Amino acid sequence: MAWLIRDDRVLASLEVPDGPRAKGRGLLGRDGLDGAMWLERTRSVHSFGMRFDLDIAFLDGDGVVIRTMRLKRNRVTLPVWGARSVLEAEAGAFGSWDLHIGDELGIRE
């Protein structure tokens, strides 16, 4: 189990897919997400086939949030240049975590 952290505080449980197959499957087929999913080496995501809307954060190579958005079902984002990974959570999660552009996020095992 991994944890999403900001300033040494745990924000949520975290899934980090291991390998391209798990990364490609992502959140497909789920009814919700308790926590977040961190997709490494990613600049764009989609929500085709998703059953819920997503909060999306694009992170630079240091884990700093450079852009956030709400992604409705059956949509795709444009690539965000400068992004090295993407954080996905169920819509509304970022508000409850008080997540903003400029926040530095990390992973704790």
Q: 15-38: buried (b, 16+ CB within 10 Å) or exposed (e) per residue?
A: bbeeeeeeeeebbeeeeebebbbb
CATH number at residue 30: 2.60.120.1140
Domain containing residue 93: 2-108
pLDDT digits (tens, 9 = 90+) for 30-66: 676 789 999 999 999 999 888 899 999 999 999 999 9
pLDDT bin (cut points 50, 70, 90) of residue 27 is low
Secondary structure letter of residue 41 according to DSSP: S
Question: Number of structural domains, the chain?
Answer: 1
Residue 47's CB is within 10 A of a number of other CB atoms, namely 21
pLDDT bin (cut points 50, 70, 90) of residue 26 is low
pTM: 0.91
pLDDT bin (cut points 50, 70, 90) of residue 1 is confident
Closest CA to 90 of 52, 48, 58: 52
* Mean pLDDT of all residues in 16-41: 76
